[in-house]
Chain A
């Protein structure tokens, strides 16, 4: 049965809760927002651009609760304002990444400017998100979630800067989980999800979909809301209250060696 925003009806695990998601204007972030709203939460959709507003409007049109706030995670003032305006938080999901994340590159050619672009969102940005959300999460005994990547565990043959950032985020999660315990949980999620770039590739290359999906035991690339958003919603719920410090891999079985 289909419920709001195209998602299957979800047990209302997040009734009465509030979850803020960064980078929620599209892709996985939008999917997480939709899934959390479908689970009963108020989704605080944050994004640098206006596309987040449309995500919030779609959630509301489908019967859910959502608010949009403009937020650039590289700006402290934006983060502080978003957290203050949101109110008590049960979940903070740091999903935003650098706009350079999907641009392939060579390690020997990685320059300081590109590095800093990634680091501002994924290293310093994670630090800032954690600091700004800590009090709000402590008040509810909530969860801080960082969206990482298989490349953070396996390294990457094509995206070395992205891989380093995603690896560092895992270290961050493990350490902060120890520091914030027992009041606040800290978890990483490593998704394999459809992206606009992947959809474009599948549209122009008829064999690409098969090449990608045949390596996935569940034979599909994850849908941002159904496949990625719902596990994140679970992690924000009381049902996940004994999970902290872990990296939850949501990838259809693609990376079983992790």
Chain B
């Protein structure tokens, strides 16, 4: 299994996911990142994890998931809850490209990029317009990376858990959840997502790129 970097917000879902990945797949390093970090700063941080060839971008700032209607939102709040995090995702995958390189000589050392994009990207969520925009933008970012970097042996995919699994509340403005049968019960969101990521990082994932794997027990079906 490739050595994996997991970006995370301090105390956020990313750190739980890194711990779960360490248990499920091993060889995983959690790197706390900040939306204020430049691409160069991030590349230096990633280069300190030797032999890494996989990035899981799981940095989700809880501020993104604070519900606020658009009509009263300030420009700063729009940036803090959405736009800055979309740019941070860009910087993280660019930094991964810088750190992991484009060595095409070893076909077994493919590079993998995975972004955690909650299903509000697909559904939209009232009260979470900046976050919904940012996460859907990340999905397009990952697809473009899949198209442009595929020749360099990069795969790029998204894993989409429901936003409630990663710590958001269910306050006013949240999307009503559609009723759906729970196909498979699970208790630990981080473990569920870690298991899917592990599958993507294995041989089965070498031909999967540009996709979004929804991990929500069958609530959203596309």
Interface residues of A (CB under 8 A from B): 106-108, 110, 112, 115, 119, 123-124, 126-127, 130-131, 134, 151-157, 160, 163-179, 181, 245
Contact = CB atoms under 8 A, between A and B. Distances in A.
Nearest to B152: A108
B167 interface: no
Interface residues of B, number: 48
A107 B94 contact: yes
B124 A176 contact: yes
B140 interface: yes
Report which residue of A123, A124, A153, A245 has the largest number of chain B beta carbons within 10 angstroms of its beta carbon: A123
B171 to A, nearest CB: 13
B141 A134 contact: no
A51 B98 CA distance: 43
Interface in B129-166: 129-137, 139-149
Contact of A174 (B71, B123, B144, B149): B123
A134 B137 contact: no
A155 B136 contact: no
Report which residue of B75, B93, B122, B136 has the largest number of chain A beta carbons within 10 angstroms of its beta carbon: B136
Report which residue of A107, A126, A163, A181 has the largest number of chain B beta carbons within 10 angstroms of its beta carbon: A107
A247 to B, nearest CB: 11
B9 interface: no
A183 B122 CA distance: 22
Nearest to B38: A112
Contacts of B61: none
Contacts of A110: 90, 94
A156 B144 contact: yes
A161 B75 CA distance: 21
B203 to A, nearest CB: 24
Contact of A131 (B71, B86, B121, B145): B71
B140 A168 contact: yes
Chain A facing B: main interface SS: helix
B173 interface: yes
Contact of A155 (B69, B78, B131, B140): B140
Contacts of A176: 70, 124, 126, 129
Given A169-B133, A245-B124, A164 B140 contact: yes
Minimum-distance CB pairs A-B, first 6: A155-B143, A167-B140, A171-B136, A174-B124, A168-B137, A175-B132
Contact of A179 (B83, B121, B126, B141): B126
Contacts of B146: 155
A74 to B, nearest CB: 12
Contacts of B90: 110, 115, 164
Contacts of B132: 171-172, 174-175
Given A123-B86, A127-B73, 20 more contacts: A108-B94, A108-B98, A108-B149, A123-B137, A127-B70, A131-B71, A155-B140, A155-B144, A156-B144, A160-B144, A164-B137, A164-B140, A167-B136, A167-B137, A167-B139, A169-B133, A171-B135, A175-B128, A176-B129, A179-B127
B97 interface: yes
B140 to A, nearest CB: 3
Given A178-B175, A179-B69, A171 B134 contact: yes
